[in-house]
Structure 1
């Protein structure tokens, strides 16, 4: 809590934003989800660019669906993305007692077994709108705070506000490109929620994701090796009743293989299988296929 005054300094909107966020974070789950639906309707015209990206991604990844079904999936994924902003607020500002019983968690034994060895854990997941809330929920279930990797905001006021909020509930907040910070946290035996499924134009390999060559980071196994950390897949979704389902799996058999491209392909294949179960809850508004293999055209014209 001590970091909050610095977060407000020079940013006129920070104090009212925190007050509103604190109130939203305490809403009953059904109200929060309804608020996400209302916000989606209000923001729909302003999200034209994001909707266009999502429409392109869904057409590429689900060519077997007809236009009507894909249109419904587009509406659902935009709603899940907007609702994710409220889930983010809940993850940052909800008191622990308000989150009690909100999630069913499987696989805690895999986490505890690695921690008992004195090793850090890289929780390898995907870009799902509820990711920070689910990282918080996992920490609550473990009774141990999780660290996260987050992209810094370009606006200094917003960045201070978000960083202050995150540090309320996470053990550490590591910048997306702060490799040293990530290795330091893992080497100390920390648990870090990490996703490497967005478009990468460096240290990448083009591997299939829904049958489309996707530029994917290949450095994950090396990060684990350098920090002596275990890589445990971490999957989650929100079910129809509004409850969160979290699952930590043991490291995949034969992973890492020693071939970075092959390991990246395995990661994408596992993620694809998870996304297909709840496709509306993936971050399709991101240009996942922005970086193309040499000679291939831009898919987002």
Structure 2
């Protein structure tokens, strides 16, 4: 109900404005989504070069995060990692468009997928599935790729855009390819989808200033959501780690793992710490592909200074 009300309100606000860009945006996005993978990655590199001056604030956030999380790197190595992560983030916009607009035939053969048996086993029990991942620029594309491999659509949790025209365009695009689009704070919508046996791609690794615990992420105390085990319990869902990355040749590697042994433990802070430790292990393998432009350490423990400027 809450999601339906939001969509109705957004549509009403958008109708009050001339959302002139929607039709040309759909046309352009459809063309980008059909590009050969090497062309799309090259487009990301060119766009990064063009947009570099405009991304100064995001680059500062990323530079702060990389300095905190990779203190052993020298200045040259850290600058190279910063360039790579900005390029991965910008390229992620085009990968997002591919995930929304590409026909199934364009996506065929783009990904190697492991662990589908864990999804099937949970489905055989009649339970929902919470795919527990992290904020990687190509997250939604990989959720789409997983759905293609499964032969059914998955649902995603997404943050709403404050601009009604942009939100209407993004929501419409997402609903073309996902079973449901659940707002970040729409707990009822999430539980409803899980209770129906739905598959939901979900991440809890951004900064949370509520229901949180400060747990280590790359050795830095990070405000992390502690509610995930309770959400899974209330939705009768199985939590399956879902990891992915893009290889140098442009192929995507997707991996669904079984639930971590001993998780949940009954201690919310300990469970959040386990999540961050598992995510850190994955991120270290391809550090440039994590969303470092986000202010991951914005909320600080009492008495600690602000880290971003």
Q: Taking structure 2 as the reference length, what is the TM-score of the superposition?
A: 0.95
**Counterparts of 1:219-230 in structure 2 under 5 Å?**
219-230=227-238
Moved over 3 A (4+): 6-10
Query: Which digits, 9 at most, give the CA deviation of each residue in 1:88-108, with x for residues without a partner?
Result: 000000000100000000000
Question: Of 132, 148, 169, which aligns to 1:124?
Answer: 132
SS at match of 2:259: coil
Q: Does 1:237 align with 2:245?
A: yes
SS at match of 2:176: helix
**Counterparts of 1:171-190 in structure 2 under 5 Å?**
171-190=179-198
**Counterparts of 1:59-70 in structure 2 under 5 Å?**
59-70=67-78
Q: Does 1:99 align with 2:107?
A: yes
Partner of 2:256: 248
Query: Which digits, 9 at most, give the CA deviation of each residue in 1:33-73, with x for residues without a partner?
Result: 00000000000000000000000000000000000000000
Partner of 1:197: 205
Gaps of at least 5 residues in structure 2 are 1-6
Question: Of 163, 167, 179, which aligns to 2:171?
Answer: 163
SS at match of 1:224: helix
Question: Of 20, 45, 58, which aligns to 2:28?
Answer: 20
What's the RMSD between the two structures over aligned residues?
Answer: 1.2
Partner of 1:35: 43
Query: Which digits, 9 at most, give the CA deviation of each residue in 1:190-209, with x for residues without a partner?
Result: 00000000000000000000
Partner of 1:260: 268
Shift of 1:281: 0.1
Shift of 1:19: 0.2
Number of corresponding residues: 297
Gaps of at least 5 residues in structure 1 are none
Shift of 1:286: 0.3
Shift of 1:229: 0.2
Query: Which digits, 9 at most, give the CA deviation of each residue in 1:7-29, with x for residues without a partner?
Result: 99531010000000000000000
Q: d(CA) in 2 for partners of 1:228 and 1:26?
A: 38
Q: d(CA) in 2 for partners of 1:170 and 1:136?
A: 7
Partner of 1:81: 89
Q: Taking structure 1 as the reference length, what is the TM-score of the superposition?
A: 0.97
Query: Which digits, 9 at most, give the CA deviation of each residue in 1:127-156, with x for residues without a partner?
Result: 000000000000000001000000000000
Partner of 1:211: 219
SS at match of 2:258: coil
Shift of 1:30: 0.2
Partner of 2:307: 299
Q: d(CA) in 1 for partners of 2:223 and 2:305?
A: 14
Q: d(CA) in 2 for partners of 1:269 and 1:162?
A: 32
SS at match of 1:124: strand
